[in-house]
C-alpha cells in the first residue's frame, strides 16, 4: 500500500483494494502486520500549488487528503507507552524462558475507545517483527502450507456467548485448522496448533464478554488459564476488568503487585482438577484517558493535539490551531480526553473543512458536528463510551462558590424565632 502522488494515469495508489485485513485470521494478521506502517500521507501543498492543478488532480488530491485524515491512527500517549513497554518486556522475557511451567500473563483494562486493542496489537506486531528476524537468522525457514508454519502471535476475539467449544473454535479458525466434533478433541487440537506453529503470544480481545454467573463462562475461563501451561503468554483485553468479575477472588501479590487469580471452583468444569490448578498470575494494567487536572496531564494532551495537527492537510491551518486559545479545553470537554472520540471528532471536522472550503478547524465549526458511533457494529455494547453532549464554544462557566458561613452568629436569630 505504498503511496505516490496521484497523476493523470488513472491510478489511485493510496486506495486499498478489498476489505481491511481480518486480524482474527492468520493471513489477515500477517497482512496487517506487514502493511501497518506503509500508508503515505498526502503531500503538504500550498494553496497556490493546489489551484494550479487540473480539476481532476485537485479531486484526487482532495481524496488523498481525506484518506490521510482517516488514517491518522492512534498516536502514542504516555498511557499507551507505559503499556507498550510492559508488554514488550513480558513477551520477550517469556519467549526466552525455555523452562516448563506457567507463563505470567497480562490484563489490559480500560474504557471504550481508549485504544486498548490497537496498543496491544501494535506491541505484539513489533515483538513478532523482532522474533521473526531472530528466527530467520538462526533457524531454517518453514514450508508454506504445512503445520509447522511459524506463527509467533495469534489474535482472537472472545465469542459473544462464550463456551469452551466457542473459544477453541476461534483459536483454531485463526490458524485455519479443522474443527473436531468433541470438546476434548478441540482442546487437543488447540494445544497441537499452538505447539506446532511455535506460538508464544495469544491475544484474547473482548475478554469481559465472559459473564461468570453462567457455567459455560466459568468453564471457558478455566480453559483460558489452562492455556498458560503451554509456554504461551496470554494477553487479555477488556473493558473495566477489575469490576467485570474476571478477577473475582483474586488478590495482588504484595511483593510483585501481580494479580493472583485462582481457578473458578464452582460449576461443572470440563477439567475436574480445575480447583487444584496452580494459581495464575497476571499483571493488570489500565489504559486511562487524558487527565486535564494536572500540569503533566495538560502537557501530554497538548503534545497529542500537536501530533494530530501536524498530520492534517488543510490549507488555512496555522501553528497552534489545535493547541492554543480555547481549542484544547473545548476538545477536552467534547471528548473527556478519550483518544478514540477525539480522533472521530477531528476526522469529521477535517471532512467538513474540505467540503465547506473553510480549510481549517475551529470550535464554532466543531460545535455543529456531533460525535456518532452508532455505525460501529463489531464492538460489544460495553465498549461504547457515553458521548459528551455537543457543547457551544467558549470558556467553561466557573462554578459559583457559596458564602462562608462559619463565623455567622445564628444564636440571636434562633432566639428571636
* pLDDT in the model for residue 145: 58
Structure confidence at residue 407 (pLDDT): 44
Q: Which of 134, 282, 263 is nearest to 204 (CA)?
A: 282
In the predicted structure, residue 5 carries a pLDDT above the cut 60: no
Domain 78-287 has CATH 3.40.1000.10: no
Specify whether the CB–CB gap between 250 and 284 falls below 8 A: no
SS (H, E, C) 187-254: HHHHHHHHHHCCCCEEEEECHHHCCCCCHHHHHHHHHHHHHHHHCCEEEEEEECHHHCCCCCCCEECC
Element (H, E) at 286: strand 280-287
Place of cell 506491541: 123
In the sheet where 259-261 sits, what is the strand order? 153-157, 201-205, 233-239, 105-110, 280-287, 259-261, 251-252
Which of 129-143, 252-266, 296-310: highest mean pLDDT? 296-310
pLDDT range class, residue 19, cuts 50, 70, 90: confident
Identify the pLDDT of residue 102: 82
CB 230 within 8 A of CB 195: yes
Would the pLDDT of 251 be above 70?
A: no
When mean pLDDT is compared across 26-30, 188-192, 232-236, 397-401, the lowest value belongs to 397-401
Predicted confidence (pLDDT) at residue 346 exceeds the cutoff of 90: yes
pLDDT of residue 328: 96
Share above pLDDT 70 across residues of the chain, in percent, rounded to a whole number: 78
8-34: burial string, b at 16+ Cβ within 10 Å, e else: eeeeeebeeeeeebebbbbebbbbbbe
Report the pLDDT value the prediction gives residue 258, as an integer from 0 to 100: 72
pLDDT digits (tens, 9 = 90+) for 20-54: 899 999 999 999 999 998 888 999 999 999 999 99
| Average pLDDT rounded to a whole number, residues 62-89 | 92
Task: Give kind and range of the element (H or E) at residue 107.
Answer: strand 105-110
Range list for CATH 3.40.50.300 in the chain = 78-287
Amino acid at each position: 500500500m505504498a503511496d505516490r502522488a496521484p497523476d493523470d494515469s488513472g491510478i489511485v495508489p493510496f486506495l486499498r483494494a478489498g476489505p481491511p485485513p481480518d486480524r482474527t485470521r492468520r493471513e489477515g494478521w500477517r497482512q496487517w502486520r506487514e502493511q501497518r506502517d506503509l500508508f503515505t500521507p498526502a503531500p503538504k501543498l500550498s494553496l497556490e500549488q493546489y489551484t494550479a492543478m487540473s480539476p481532476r488532480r485537485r479531486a484526487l488530491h482532495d481524496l488523498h487528503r481525506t484518506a490521510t485524515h482517516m488514517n491518522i491512527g492512534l498516536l502514542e500517549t504516555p498511557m499507551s507507552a507505559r503499556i507498550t513497554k510492559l508488554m514488550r518486556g513480558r513477551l520477550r522475557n517469556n519467549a526466552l524462558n525455555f523452562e516448563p511451567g506457567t507463563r505470567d500473563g497480562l490484563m489490559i483494562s480500560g474504557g471504550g475507545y481508549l485504544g486498548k486493542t490497537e496498543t496491544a496489537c501494535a506491541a505484539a506486531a513489533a515483538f513478532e517483527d523482532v522474533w521473526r528476524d531472530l528466527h530467520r537468522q538462526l533457524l531454517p525457514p518453514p514450508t508454506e502450507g504445512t503445520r509447522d508454519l511459524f506463527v509467533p502471535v495469534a489474535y482472537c476475539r472472545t465469542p459473544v456467548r462464550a463456551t469452551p467449544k466457542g473459544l477453541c473454535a476461534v483459536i483454531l479458525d485463526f490458524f485455519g485448522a479443522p474443527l473436531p466434533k468433541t470438546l476434548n478433541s478441540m482442546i487437543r487440537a488447540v494445544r497441537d496448533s499452538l505447539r506446532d506453529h511455535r506460538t508464544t503470544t495469544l491475544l484474547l480481545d473482548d475478554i469481559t464478554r465472559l459473564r461468570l454467573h453462567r457455567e459455560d463462562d466459568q468453564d471457558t475461563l478455566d480453559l483460558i488459564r489452562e492455556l498458560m501451561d503451554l509456554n504461551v503468554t496470554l494477553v487479555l483485553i477488556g473493558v473495566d476488568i477489575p469490576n467485570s468479575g474476571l478477577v473475582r477472588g483474586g488478590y495482588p501479590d504484595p511483593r510483585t503487585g501481580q494479580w493472583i487469580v485462582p481457578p473458578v471452583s464452582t460449576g461443572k468444569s470440563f477439567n475436574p482438577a480445575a480447583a487444584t490448578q496452580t494459581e495464575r498470575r497476571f499483571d493488570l494494567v489500565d489504559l486511562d484517558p487524558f487527565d486535564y487536572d494536572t500540569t503533566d496531564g495538560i502537557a501530554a494532551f497538548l503534545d497529542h493535539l500537536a501530533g494530530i495537527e501536524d498530520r492534517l492537510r488543510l490549507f488555512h491551518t496555522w501553528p497552534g490551531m489545535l493547541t492554543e486559545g480555547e481549542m484544547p479545553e473545548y476538545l477536552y470537554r467534547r471528548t473527556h480526553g478519550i483518544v478514540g472520540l477525539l480522533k472521530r471528532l477531528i476526522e469529521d471536522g477535517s471532512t467538513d473543512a474540505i467540503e465547506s472550503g473553510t480549510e481549517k478547524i475551529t470550535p464554532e465549526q466543531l460545535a455543529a458536528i456531533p460525535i456518532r458511533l452508532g455505525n460501529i457494529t463489531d464492538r460489544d455494547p460495553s465498549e461504547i463510551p457515553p458521548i459528551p453532549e455537543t457543547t457551544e464554544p467558549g470558556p467553561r462557566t466557573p462554578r459559583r462558590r457559596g458564602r462562608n458561613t462559619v463565623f455567622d452568629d445564628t444564636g440571636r436569630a434562633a432566639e428571636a424565632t
